[in-house]
A and B are shown apart, each in its own frame.
Chain A
């Protein structure tokens, strides 16, 4: 290890690894610190992504793909099922292996990686972040850098220490819980989404197949709902009623910020990527691809700023992110605010009208259209997404 690096990345998830990879690739020295013992573990994720989104960064490999998705199934509160063929291809990842692979890609480009390194403070000089303090196996260290990239997830404190407001309102934070269970007899190429107050009010419940009868079953609710009944309690009820014979192989909890990106994701010497920056699709809660995109832009911008000896250039990242995805996420957030507050009757009504459509007309675009009829103010936003 060196005494000083150009860039220090805090957190080795997909966003951190992409930031590290792109910074290294563009010719600057990078150290990536991970607080956990293993990169990629524990997995706090439903693991569903679009293949096209991943392919921009890494060649698909069967060793981290556990199922291929060709259909969505939406289940309304009165159990009406609407099946929609998926345009394009989706996959369920094996994140443990996938995250490892991404960190390895960064490492191959020259990034140094240290696990079990818990960052517990920032070095700040002249109002600019210039390194980190960290705990490694019970000993305290510090190391300097020109730029710190915070990829420390939903619980990001690096951002706060760097003067960026990273906490989310509890009404926007979805509290999630997920189990990986066996003996789940569902179609192995379909992602299931359950809507309504029985399953997950102000959120949704999902079943994502992982092959061989395994599946991720999870749900997310907002803090407003959690006041009365926890996510854990909703999931226990669901499993008891629908899959009483399942065995649970793994169980995780996690927070999913269903919000647009933070207003500020850059301050002098510091940039935020991934969940730390709230780079999550606020309609679906998906954050893998958006985090990778955010990380890749940040990594490139950081390297250019350092090589041009003009650290102020890191502010370009905010603009580039907004153009690439930030604006879209704001629109998704408006749609979410409409859809997630529908009553059970409204979800049922939409499902009934969709089931009557012939197969070829049952597309995601039409689902959105039907939802819009029930809330006309969403029309403009949805139109922008689906009918451009």
Chain B
């Protein structure tokens, strides 16, 4: 049922960000093909409408701040 959102039709966001662990280094932003991550000085968030759950940010994060959560991220957690 859940798959990579190449068609941009699936709405569920599966990438989880743990802001408390984040160093705000921008590595994830640098590999995101969709420009779906917003980074300020010490604020980071995934732009849900743009994210395709491709997971490249998860693989690139040097300090394990991003996680792939197969159950989806509840709106309340964002």
Which residues from chain A sit less than 8 Å from chain B, CB to CB?
Answer: 35-37, 42, 44, 116, 118, 135, 153-157, 160, 166-170, 173, 175-177, 223-224, 226-227, 230-233, 251-255, 257
Contacts and interface: CB of A to CB of B under 8 A. Distances in A.
A306 B36 CA distance: 34
Given A35-B41, A168-B30, A253-B27, 8 more contacts: A157-B29, A167-B30, A170-B31, A175-B27, A176-B62, A253-B63, A255-B26, A255-B30
Contacts of A153: 26
A71 B25 CA distance: 30
A160 B62 CA distance: 23
Interface centre among A154, A155, A226, A254 (most CB of B within 10 A): A155
Given A168-B30, A232-B63, A252 B25 contact: yes
Contact of A118 (B23, B41, B60): B41
B16 to A, nearest CB: 15
B41 to A, nearest CB: 5
Interface of B: 23, 25-33, 35, 39-41, 56, 59-64
Contact of A224 (B25, B35, B59, B61): B59
17 contacts: A44-B25, A155-B29, A167-B30, A170-B31, A175-B60, A175-B61, A177-B62, A177-B63, A223-B60, A227-B59, A230-B64, A252-B25, A253-B23, A253-B27, A255-B25, A255-B27, A255-B31
Nearest to B35: A160
Contacts of A160: 35
B49 to A, nearest CB: 16
Contacts of B35: 157, 160, 167
A170 B31 CA distance: 5
Contact of A231 (B30, B41, B62): B62
A173 B60 CA distance: 7
A108 B63 CA distance: 39
B31 A223 contact: yes
Contacts, number: 91
Contacts of B28: 255
Contacts of B25: 44, 252-255
Contacts of B63: 177, 230-232, 253
Contacts of A251: 23
Contacts of A156: 30
Contacts of A173: 27, 30-31, 60
Nearest to B27: A255
A163 to B, nearest CB: 12
A354 B53 CA distance: 47
Given A167-B32, A173-B31, A231-B63, A154 B41 contact: no
A37 B27 contact: no
A251 B21 CA distance: 12
A35 B33 CA distance: 22
B67 to A, nearest CB: 11
B60 to A, nearest CB: 4
B41 A37 contact: yes
Contacts of A170: 31, 56, 59-60
Nearest to A229: B64
A118 B29 contact: no
A176 B63 CA distance: 9
B64 to A, nearest CB: 5
Nearest to A166: B30
A230 B41 contact: no
Given A153-B26, A252-B25, A223 B59 contact: yes
A381 to B, nearest CB: 26
B62 A230 contact: yes
Contacts of B31: 167-170, 173, 223, 255
A36 B40 CA distance: 8
Given A223-B59, A232-B64, A252-B23, A155 B30 contact: yes
Contacts of B23: 42, 251-253
Contacts of A175: 27, 60-62
